[in-house]
Amino acid sequence: MKRSNVKTVLALTALALAAGAAQASDKLRWKVPNAFPSHLPALGDNVQLVADMLKEASGGEIQFKIFEPGNLVPPLELSDAVRDKTIDAGYTWTGYDAGKIPAAPLFSARPFGMEPWEYTAWWYEGGGKQLAEEIYGKRKVHPILCGITGPETAGWFRKEIKSMDDLKGLKIRFAGLGGEVMQKAGASVTLIPGSEIFQALEKGAIDATEFAMPAVDQALGFDKVAKHNYFPGWHQTYTAFHFIVNKDVWDKLQPATRMLLDTACTAGVLRNLSKGEAIQAEVIRGFQARGVSSRTVPEPMLRELKKLSDAVMAEQAAKDADFKRVYESQEAFAQSYQTWKGLAYLPRNFDSAAK
């Protein structure tokens, strides 16, 4: 066959495949509420990136209109709205579902848990995805891992925290399982949406807060009121985000459409983690000019918080079979992963020790 004919055949084959894919996929026009304000870097902007990728990859067949928090559905009620088919899909943090699905926080963030890439290894290769789909499937919701970021800060405080005694009676905004740990430590814990935290800090309704990474927290103005920012984020070593779809809607989608959604969200995971890691250092370097002190949680406190975290995990596992299954799955994977992690990576203090 002549080279020109080969090129023609290849071109026609490519066109046929593209046409077949287009015919096999669905035309979607979904309203998608975002649990986070879209202007927040690496927190609220990721779902728009995924939507843009889907629109281009599908040739315009899949288009999402992203809604700001509360404009369509309140963030804390997002999975209920998906379950009830009030909306087809949404982008959320599953930790908000703790009151309805006790195991949900484990899919989103947990104290003294895995690092982000360790979590994604567990999700994709260690059974996490199957567990999430089974547990959320009971509520007619299909979850897709669609974003992840690294550790949050351990919180923004009006005054310096030196020991566990300083947590007693402290009025603090804290979410998820970490909030239960703080309650055990004697703090007065409340959960309020991100958009309300600054006002609560400014008015003195709360003494401290955790929310996200420095770049996000600074965008919300926490550094203007609370001048002590603590690290590491023991309570949230990873923060995973999910694109959730009504299960009946998901099951009726064409395989090509489901694959496009999965693929775009997988790309969203990598892009989200990459952006989150890239933008924090510059913000932290600017702390001094803003009068902010970056502080480390004293090691004795971390050890006590770990003990309290273990107690919270044990209590939750005893109360809910699904929580127990997911927790044990994560713990087994993390223990196995240490065989690789302990040998393969340089010690964290390698550079300073060499000097």
pLDDT, one tens digit per residue, over 18-50 is: 444 444 468 999 999 999 999 999 999 999 999
Distance of CA 223 to the CA centre of its chain: 22
Give the closest residue to 46 by CA, choosing from 220, 273, 315. 273
Q: How much is the pLDDT for 352?
A: 55
Give the residue from 147, 202, 149, 135 showing the smallest Cα distance to 173: 202
Q: Are strands 228-231 and 62-67 parallel, antiparallel or unpaired?
A: unpaired
How high is the pLDDT of residue 14? 37
Question: What interhelical angle do 128-137 and 116-125 show, nearest 10?
Answer: 70
Question: What's residue 280's pLDDT?
Answer: 96
Q: Tell me, what's the pLDDT at 285?
A: 95
Residue 355 pLDDT grade (very low, low, confident, very high; cuts 50, 70, 90): low
Tokens of 66: 């992203």
Query: What percent of the chain is modeled with pLDDT above 90?
Result: 86
Encoded tokens for 208: 């401290």
Confidence check: pLDDT of 301 > 70:
yes
Residue 11 has pLDDT above 80, yes or no: no
Interval 219-259: pLDDT, tens? 999 999 999 999 999 999 999 999 999 999 999 999 999 99
3-class state of residue 133 by DSSP:
helix
**What pairing do the DSSP bridges indicate for beta strands 293-296 and 228-231?**
parallel
Percent of the chain with pLDDT over 70: 91
Report all structural domains of the chain as residue ranges with CATH numbers, in order of start.
27-151+237-278 (3.40.190.170)
Query: In whole numbers, what is the pLDDT of the chain averaged over residues?
Result: 91
Q: What is the pLDDT of residue 193?
A: 80
Q: How confident is the model at residue 77 (pLDDT cuts 50, 70, 90)?
A: very high
Residue 143's pLDDT band, with cuts at 50, 70 and 90, is very high
Q: Quick count: other Cβ atoms within 10 Å of Cβ 46?
A: 29
| CA neighbor of 272 nearest in space, from 353, 216, 194 | 216
What pTM value is reported for the model? 0.90
